[in-house]
Amino acid sequence: MSLKPLTLWTLLGHAGSPNPWKVLMILEELKIPYETKPTELGDLKKEPYESINPNGRVPALEDPNTGITIWESGAILEYLVDTYDKQLNISFAAGSKEYYESKQWLHYQTSGQGPYFGQAAWFTIYHPEKVPSAVERYVNEIRRVSGVLNRSLQNKEYLVGGKFSYVDAAFVPWFEIATLLWSNEIDLEKNFPHVHSWLNRIKARPAIAKTIEEKEKATAAQGK
């Protein structure tokens, strides 16, 4: 079956934005053809983009093969594996214990990791005033979230079902950013060794390594 390329909306000039990058990893893992539509930050919260995503953020995905347009990175990952991973290479059979566990971890990533790491980044880099107590609160949350993962990964290589799945990949982009921004405050290898080796296992996968390499090239090219 030959697929028409899917369109993924990303942020122009912000190649490091973690949420589109999460989707790119899964498109690469599943070898789905796609094109990206880098969009100016100033164009997200107005038409025509708000008709694609009323929340005015990226990513959003349009699939001409099914006629479905979808936003929210977690929902996009679920859409991609439900539609294009029928062999269950990186997902689990609908209704199984692992299926619900993978959703549990995905919800944890989108509600537990993303917002806290995101606020830590905001108060570390973008907030106009320096607010040390806010930075401390959110960097502590990064430690807490990392601790939850570290305990869960103590006796296993991946989060669910003894194999790599889409939920493992979902956590990588924010940890890459954490390594860049808070390596003085948080030593993953020393304090969260199971998280550290889990991330290395995931990043050794060709599709993930390729996505990270392309992101680094794009970030270097835009100079931020």
Ligand X SMILES: N[C@@H](CCC(=O)N[C@@H](CS)C(=O)NCC(=O)O)C(=O)O
Determine which residue in the list 27, 29, 49, 57 makes contact with ligand X, applying CB under 6 A. 57
Contacting range for ligand X; rule: CB under 6 A; set: 31-39, 68-76, 94-102, 177-185: 68-76
Q: Does 16 bind ligand X (CB under 6 A)?
A: no
Q: Which of 182, 26, 202 is nearest to 116 (CA)?
A: 182
Residue among 73 and 102 whose Cβ is closer to ligand X: 73
Residue among 23 and 30 whose Cβ is closer to ligand X: 23
DSSP per position, the chain: -PPPPEEEEEETT-TT-HHHHHHHHHHHHTT--EEEEEE-GGGTTSTTHHHH-TT--S-EEEETTTTEEEESHHHHHHHHHHHH-TT-SSS--TTSHHHHHHHHHHHHIIIIIHHHHHHHHIIIII-SS--HHHHHHHHHHHHHHHHHHHHHTTT-SSSSTTS--HHHHHTHHHHHHHHHH-TTT--HHHH-HHHHHHHHHHHTSHHHHHHHHHHHHHHHHHT-
Site residue total, ligand X (CB under 6 A): 14
Q: Cβ 114 to ligand X, closest distance in Å? A: 6
x/- contact string, 101-140, with ligand X (CB under 6 A)?
A: ---------x---x--------------------------
Q: Does 142 bind ligand X (CB under 6 A)?
A: no
Q: Does 161 bind ligand X (CB under 6 A)?
A: no
139 φ/ψ angles, rounded to the nearest 5 degrees: -70, -35
Determine which residue in the list 6, 15, 19, 195 makes contact with ligand X, applying CB under 6 A. 19
Q: Does 91 bind ligand X (CB under 6 A)?
A: no
Q: Cβ 157 to ligand X, closest distance in Å? A: 26
For the CA atoms of 19, 22, 24, 25, the dihedral, rounded to the nearest 10 degrees, stands at 170
Contacting range for ligand X; rule: CB under 6 A; set: 56-64, 93-101, 140-148, 178-186: 56-64
Q: Does 177 bind ligand X (CB under 6 A)?
A: no
Site residues (CB under 6 A) for ligand X, limited to 182-221: none
The residue number whose beta carbon is nearest to ligand X equals: 57
Binding site for ligand X (CB under 6 A): 11, 17-19, 41, 44, 57-59, 72-74, 110, 114
